[in-house]
């Protein structure tokens, strides 16, 4: 560690704030005190109003990606109000609404960062939680907390006209589906599949529909059919039915797979037409075997996509505000978070849990 970093750590004053954390892969979330730095010149201090509950929170709390640093304070779908700003801050003033997604920093110098693709930073982005905290040491702590301190370069603007609770999930579920749909140029004249009607999937349906595609939702849950149509799907396919799946063989331009658990990816690759692409945004714990012949015949592509860059996240928030798109949410108190995780595992959420952070003070 350099002398200047040492002195920064020593001189960084902190404030203690309330949060909920988990201490091991098998323990429940429970109240926990964390430190936030006093704002540096480029920082904004945000009092958190709402934080969405992403399946990635659950994967990481339970160490399903095998890289969790405990204690972990999850939460990367954050909206709140600015209560303090550093001396250099230009984008925000006290009283403004602000949002934070999955990243709070990156190297800002590598070729990915220079292209505005901070999520693919060659030196690894600093994720909102479960990353190394450059300022305080130890892990970064996320949004299941009273407040957060973030460099304004990684803080997003949100309109005062939007529903704040329903906007929080856009910070991960929204951008993670918006970015690949834009990258693969989904639009009118295309047949697009979305796999899994959860937090990401329901945003994928809404956004693909808004971009003008013909949208087909694949679900394992017969009870979600009506919702999927209401959310914007033109057709719904029950993926457990071989007959229903076969009707769509070799017909899709693009499929976005947002499933959180092990499933048969080949069943979807075979639905792509010539030169079609299946992009994975779901991040199950175990590898997904792919049949070579399924890719060879039809020159099909199997791809992946991770969240989105800061500029694109702002573009997505502005697009959603302009088109009146937000998440369908069930608001919970932080005290219900362990029960919410159990329900998330069963696919029993319509379609994103969002924590009302006022409950933290109860």
Q: Which residues bind ligand NAP (CB under 6 A)?
A: 54-56, 59, 172-173, 176, 196-201, 219-221, 224, 258-261, 263, 281-284, 305-307, 344, 347, 349
Q: Are 234 and 214 in contact (CB under 8 A)?
A: yes
| Residue 54-93 contact track with Zn ion, rule CB under 5 A, x = bound | x-x-------------------------------------
Rounded Cα gap, residues 355 and 47, in angstroms: 14
Cis peptide before 106 (omega within 30 of 0): no
| Residue 104-123 contact track with Zn ion, rule CB under 5 A, x = bound | --xx--x--x-------x--
Instruction: Name the residue number minimizing CB distance to ligand NAP.
Output: 198
Residues 6+ apart with CB under 8 A from 89: 41, 42, 43, 44, 152
Rounded to a whole number of angstroms, the minimum distance from the CB of residue 234 to ligand NAP is 16
Residue 263 partner contact from Zn ion, ligand NAP, none using kind-dependent CB cut-offs of 5 to 8 Å: ligand NAP
In 152-284, the DSSP E strands lie at 156-157, 191-195, 214-219, 235-238, 252-257, 272-280
4-23 burial by CB neighbour count: b if 16+ within 10 A, else e? eeeebeeeeeeeebbbbbbe
Residue 59 partner contact from Zn ion, ligand NAP, none using kind-dependent CB cut-offs of 5 to 8 Å: ligand NAP
Residue 198 partner contact from ligand NAP, Zn ion, none using kind-dependent CB cut-offs of 5 to 8 Å: ligand NAP
Q: Residues touching Zn ion: how many (CB under 5 A)? A: 8
Q: Which two tokens mark 282? A: 């779901």
Instruction: Name the residue number minimizing CB distance to Zn ion.
Output: 54
- The three-point CA angle 102-103-105 to 5° equals 175
Backbone angles phi, psi at 273, to 5 degrees: -85, -175
Q: Which is nearer to ligand NAP, 136 or 197 (CB)?
A: 197
Q: Which residues bind Zn ion (CB under 5 A)?
A: 54, 56, 106-107, 110, 113, 121, 172
């Amino acid at each position: 560690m350099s002398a200047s970093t040492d002195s920064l750590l020593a001189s960084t004053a902190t404030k203690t704030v309330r949060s909920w954390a988990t201490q091991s892969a098998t323990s429940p979330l429970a109240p926990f005190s964390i430190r936030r730095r006093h704002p540096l010149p480029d920082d904004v201090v945000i009092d958190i109003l709402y934080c969405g509950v992403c399946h990635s929170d659950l994967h990481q709390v339970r160490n399903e990606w095998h890289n969790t640093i405990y204690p972990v304070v999850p939460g990367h779908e954050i909206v709140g109000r600015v209560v303090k700003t550093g001396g250099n801050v230009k984008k925000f003033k006290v009283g403004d609404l602000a949002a934070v997604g999955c990243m709070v920093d990156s190297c800002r110098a590598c070729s990915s960062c220079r292209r505005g693709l901070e999520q693919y930073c060659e030196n690894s982005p600093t994720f909102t939680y479960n990353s190394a905290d450059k300022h305080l040491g130890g892990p970064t702590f996320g949004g299941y907390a009273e407040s957060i301190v973030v460099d304004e370069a990684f803080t997003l603007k949100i309109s005062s006209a939007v529903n704040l609770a329903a906007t929080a999930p856009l910070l991960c579920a929204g951008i993670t589906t918006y970015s690949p749909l834009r990258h693969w140029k989904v639009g009118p004249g295309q047949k697009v599949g979305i796999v899994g009607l959860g937090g990401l999937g329901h945003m994928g349906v809404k956004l693909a529909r808004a971009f003008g595609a013909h949208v087909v939702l694949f679900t394992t849950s017969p009870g979600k059919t009506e919702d999927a149509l209401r959310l914007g799907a033109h057709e719904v396919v029950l993926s457990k039915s071989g007959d229903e799946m076969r009707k769509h063989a070799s017909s899709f331009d693009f499929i976005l797979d947002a499933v959180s658990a092990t499933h048969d990816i080949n069943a979807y690759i075979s639905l792509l037409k010539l030169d079609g692409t299946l992009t994975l945004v779901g991040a199950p714990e175990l590898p997904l075997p792919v049949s070579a012949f399924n890719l060879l015949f039809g020159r099909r592509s199997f791809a992946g996509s991770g969240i989105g860059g800061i500029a694109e996240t702002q573009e997505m928030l502005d697009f959603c505000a302009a088109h009146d798109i937000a998440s369908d949410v069930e608001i919970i108190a932080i005290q219900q978070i362990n029960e919410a995780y159990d329900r998330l595992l069963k696919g029993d959420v319509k379609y994103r849990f969002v924590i009302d952070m006022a409950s933290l003070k109860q």
